[in-house]
Structure 1
Amino acid sequence: MQAFDLYAILPELVLLLATCFLLVASVYVRERVPTTLGIEQDIFHTPRGVGFVYFFSLLLLIYLIFAFVGRMGDVSLVAMNGLFQSDPLSNLLKACSCGAVLVSLIYSKQYLSDRALFRPDFIVLILLALLGQFVLISGANLLSLYLGLELMALPMYALVAMRHNSEKSVEAGIKYFILGALASGFLLYGMSMLYGVTGSLDLIEIFKTVADPRVNHLVMAFGLVFIVAGLAFKLGVVPFHMWVPDVYQGAPTAVTLMIAGAPKLAAFALLFRLLVNTLLPLMGDWQPMLVLLAILSLIVGNVTAIAQTNVKRMLAYSAIAQMGFVMLGMLSVFDDHAFSASVFYVITYVLTTLGTFGLLMALSHKGYDCETLEGLKGLNKKHPWFAFIGLVMMFSLAGIPPTVGFAAKLGVLEALVDAEHTFLAIIAVMASLVGAFYYLRVVKVMYFDEPSHEVTVSGSGFAKGLLSLNTILVLALGIIPAGLMSVCLDAMRRTLLGS
């Protein structure tokens, strides 16, 4: 191992060591459980408690954000004998992932405390999943990509089923595990076929071999089908979306946010690494598959969401449709503007998702989860500022100006028109019009319906202030999107040049 290898993996190494430290320290953390008499007692004791683990994790995430932002100006490099790559795009996505996890932890603190889930093991599992996202985003080898994918997924399975006294949570965890294992099997089988044809696990070597006209393209095509199917499972797009609504609804809202936020960035990185960096010579085979998946996701996701009264389930179908938009940006394979539009879209979607689920957790309290449209009725009459937050988030998801969702959708549509995919752009616009119905229905419920119960807002003042800042950022990036767009474009250009 050389010096630049250590430099390349230093943030990941810091995260790993810090997570191991917190895992060991959590043995001494005081945990309170109810006895048969209904009285809580301590089963572990330490003077520090879970607050130390939480505060240490926040400091760690802030350090990682600054570390990755500082590396965005570095040149692309491949380290660890071709297993790991560090480039501007990976550093941008990692910084955004850390920011998403940081905000998610702050939003979730009160929600988890009210449900006896605010424990060190919860935070440790989140950090391990974040480490898996780092490995996945920077994978330069089929083996490292798969290991990163599994390291990200396994803690998520445990998090979904962590609320043991909830049948829905346990059921969602089992479904997520079984279907996730099936998706991993598809992906691994496709990778094994790639290895059988090319004789290498290295992405660069696979790209060179696939470009050779003498290679067996029939076997490659079969392997590609399994890879795209596995990617579709991880992205949660139609027809491999069956796990998304059940997991979103069954998991605690804090865990749903962890699934709906940062992992979307890692899934996009996996899509980019495999299809663009590695299998670009086979674009004639995978482009039609992406078109089909994107169209089905836009139509099925938006149409099915109309029938939902559970907000988390509605947001699950919304996520399916949003991922269809992301895939549309991957169709212009020789246009860095199109790729950067997809990066901008997925980053701003995660930003909006953070605000949406942050609002749901703020409106939840001990013994009550705000998950249905009924719980949002008359919010403007009791808490007008939080109703405005909900309005901004719904407008952004629908793509209505002046929110950032409009700028993100417009960027993808422009890329489609420039690539002469006008028909796809029309389908995307029509699907967005359908989607606007159920987003505006949420706004109507908050502003025009009478409250059906007492609406209260929980959470610390800091969490409420961060939620307000999140809302302002969604508006500001919608009015002035050029700054973030230029960052995404520069990162994509330098990454493509470096590869």
Structure 2
Amino acid sequence: MNLLPLYPEICLLLSALLILILDLYLKDDQRNLTHWLSVVALGATALISYDYLRAGETVYAFNNMFVTDALSNLLKVLTLVAVMVTLCYGRLYTQQRDMFKGEYYVLALLATLGQMVMISANNLLTIYLGLELLSLSLYALVAIRRDTLACTEAAMKYFVLGALASGFLLYGMSMLYGATGSLDIGTINKAVTTIAPDNKMILVFALVFIVAGLAFKLGVVPFHMWVPDVYQGSPTAVTLLLSAAPKFAAFAITLRLLVEGMLPLAKDWQQMLMVLAVLSIGLGNLVAIAQKNIKRMLAYSTISHMGFMLLGLLSGVVNGNTFSASEAYSSALFYIVIYVLTTLGSFGILLLLARAGIEIEQIDDLKGLGKRHFGYAIVLLLLMFSLAGVPPTVGFYAKLVVLKATMNAGHIWLAILAVLFSLVGAFYYLRVVKVVFFDEPSDTEPLQASADARLILGVNGAAVLIFGLLPSGLLSLCGWVIVRTLAS
């Protein structure tokens, strides 16, 4: 019963329960206290995880069901910071839409707790426990505006398809348990290595269901059907909670299940990821061109970016040597970090531009932003350039390292295809820039935003440029994390 590795989770859970009880006694005009307590709780938990990251130790708890290592600590810090930024961006938005309630903050904290459990899971049961805590919290968040038809419809779609994804993953895990006799990821790896070739068919079936479940959570083609509808139908503050931080948890369980748990079957899951990556990059970029709704456009953009991230993962095992492939896994980790950074800024702009009764839904709603608020327009320019992969923004370097890893693995045609579709995708990002700077504004109302949100947006935009000019520090950190994790 070593509780030391669980201190961040315990801290966040106790904070969520405290905020839940305290909020019962607060009036509507006192809800700012709930907001700032939630931000402080996330910050304190991030500091604990950061301290563990600096120590660099790998510690197991609860009979190896839970692990705190370099990967888990880094992803926890990033997840907690991402949720903090999301709450700050969405404070004014939620106040104007009757969402500024204790339930919103408690559900956000519980969803974050579920992500942290997933990130540190070293057992199939722990993965599923964290996944359900995350999913159930997000279902409720999507439906938090019960009087809005679009939110209710999005919540139903997300619930039905999310349950289907969880069923796929659970069925694959049950088959994996039946074949190996263990729920522990490390033990599964050893069992898969020694299993007789005649019995490998059940492992391949298990792998198919597991990859399908992971693909649902990542939102890649052909398991992407929930992404555009849920992104569009959810309140923008909830859309950001859905689209940013949970990608870290999805990346973590993908790496742990496929690389740490089923590495001997790498040739099988690499082929599956290759199909998913090609379909996602192609369909995501092509369909995004036709979108007029900015949230749907960013949803299809997400699909294409998850395809790019898969390129790094599928390039990871070359001739059976995992450690020589640490560069590929670190490129995938680097890419997911940069994706979340740009997504936070992109949806943050939409949240800051929205006001009571006015949603920023269509691309045309951004017309003339450069004339209304030049600072916001410059930040949006940097974010769109980063998503498109235009230098000197960090998105260019993120795509470059993934393409380099793909080429090192011998997948030259994949890299060429990814570059071609990226050129296609640049069109719809540049269309947003054109609308912002060259169209006349259709709205002349003054823009309102809290000082903390404006400051965070400025830092967000600066980070996209600074990491693009000086990417080596973050990339080295990702490489160190992957090497330490694979060596433990």
Q: Secondary structure at the match of 2:67?
A: strand
Deviation at 1:435, TM superposition (A): 0.6
2:46 to 58, 65, 71: 65
Is 2:201 the counterpart of 1:218? yes
Measure the CA separation in 2 of the matches of 1:254 and 1:68. Answer: 25
User: Partner amino acid for 2:91?
Assistant: K
- Contact between 2:8 and 2:46, CA under 8 Å: does it hold in 1? no
For residue 338 of structure 1, what is the aligned residue in structure 2? 328
Select 2:121's aligned residue among 135, 139, 142. 139
Task: Identify the residue that residue 29 of structure 1 maps to in structure 2.
Answer: 26
Q: 1:14: how far off?
A: 1.0
State the 1:177 CA deviation: 0.4
Corresponding letter in the other structure for 1:454: T
Q: For the residues of structure 2 that align with 1:458 and 1:269, how far apart are their CA atoms? A: 37
The answer to whether 1:305 aligns with 2:302 is: no
Other structure's SS at 2:3 match = helix
416-425 vs 315-324, which deviates more? 416-425
1:183 partnered with 2:173: no
AA partner of residue 17 (structure 1): L
Q: Deviations over 1:225-249 (max 9, x none)?
A: 1000000000000000000000000
- What is the SS of the residue equivalent to 1:238? coil
Deviation readout 1:35-60 (Å, 9 max, x if unpaired): xxxxxxxxxxxxxx322221111111
Q: Where does 1:394-409 land on structure 2 (aligned, <5 Å)?
A: 394-409=384-399
Say which SS state the counterpart of residue 78 (structure 1) adopts: strand
Aligned twin of 2:243: 260
What TM-score, normalized to structure 1?
0.95
Tell whether 2:61 aligns with 1:79. Answer: yes
- Corresponding position: 1:282 with 2:272: no
| Change over 3 Å in CA distance of 1:213–1:197 after alignment to 2 | closer
- Residue range with higher mean Cα deviation, 380-389 or 93-102: 380-389
Offset, 1:188 = 0.1
What is the correspondence of 1:454-469 to structure 2 with a 5 Å cutoff?
A: 454-469=444-459
Residue 107 of structure 1 corresponds to 89
- Structure 1 Cα separation of the partners of residues 134 and 46 of structure 2: 19
Encode CA deviations 1:301-322: one digit per residue, 9 max, x unaligned.
0000000000000000000000
Query: Which residue is equivalent to 1:41?
Result: none
Q: Aligned letter for 1:97? A: T
Whether the aligned pair in 2 keeps the contact of 1:380 and 1:447 (CA below 8 Å) is: yes
Alignment correspondent of 1:240: 223
What amino acid maps onto 1:27 in structure 2? L
- How do 1:98-497 and structure 2 match up within 5 A? 98-214=80-196, 216-331=199-314, 332-333=316-317, 334=322, 335-497=325-487
* Structure 1 moving runs of 4+ over 6 Å: none
Alignment deviations for residues 162-217 of structure 1 (CA, whole Å, 9 cap, x no partner): 11121111100000000000000000000000011111111111111000141610
Q: Which amino acid aligns with 1:381?
A: K
Structure 1: distance between partners of 2:160 and 2:417: 33
- The structure-2 alpha-carbon separation of the partners of 1:328 and 1:210, relative to structure 1 and needing over 3 Å to count, comes to same
> Cα deviation per residue 1:264-309 (whole Å; 9 max; x = unaligned)?
0100001101000000001111111000000000000000000000
Taking the aligned partners of 1:422 and 1:456, their CA distance within structure 2 comes to 50
Distance 2:452 2:205 in 1: 52
Contact kept in structure 2, 1:111 and 1:459, CA below 8 Å: no
Does residue 11 (structure 1) correspond to residue 17 (structure 2)? The answer is no
Which amino acid counterpart does residue 150 of structure 1 have in structure 2? Answer: E
CA shift, 1:455, in A, is: 4.9
Amino acid at match of 2:33: F
Runs of 5+ in structure 1 lacking a partner? 33-48
Instruction: Check whether the contact 1:104–1:354 (CA below 8 A) recurs between aligned residues.
Output: yes
Counterpart contact for 2:124–2:173, Cα < 8 Å: yes
How far apart, in 1, do the equivalents of 2:422 and 2:445 lie? Answer: 31
Give the CA deviation at 1:67: 1.4
SS at match of 1:368: coil
Counterpart CA distance in 1 for 2:8 and 2:272 is 36
Q: What is the match of residue 43 of structure 1?
A: none
Secondary structure of 1:82's counterpart equals coil
1:31 Cα deviation from its structure 2 partner: 4.2
- Contact 1:373–1:442 at 8 Å: present in 2 too? yes
For the residue of structure 1 that corresponds to 2:420, the secondary structure is: helix
Q: CA deviation at 1:29?
A: 2.5
Q: Do 2:115 and 2:134's aligned partners in 1 also have CA atoms closer than 8 Å? A: yes
Higher mean Cα deviation, 85-94 or 214-223?
214-223
Percent of paired sites with the same residue: 52
How big is the shift at 1:458? Answer: 2.1
Task: Give the AA of the match of 1:490.
Answer: W
Q: Which amino acid aligns with 2:156?
A: I
Aligned-partner residue type, residue 10 of structure 2: L
Q: What amino acid does structure 2 have at the position aligned with 1:175?
A: K
Residues in 1 aligned to 2:146 and 2:447: alpha-carbon distance in whole angstroms: 26
Q: Residue 55 of structure 1 is aligned with which of 33, 36, 46?
A: 36
CA contact (8 A) 2:7 2:48 kept: no
Distance 2:355 2:35 in 1: 20
Which residue number corresponds to residue 45 of structure 1?
Answer: none
Q: CA deviation at 1:382?
A: 1.5
Alpha-carbon separation, structure 2, partners of 1:438 and 1:455: 26
Moved more, 12-21 or 246-255: 12-21
Q: 1:431 to 1:456 in 2, by over 3 A?
A: farther
Shift of 1:456: 3.6
* Structure 2 unmatched runs, 5+: none
Amino acid at match of 2:181: G
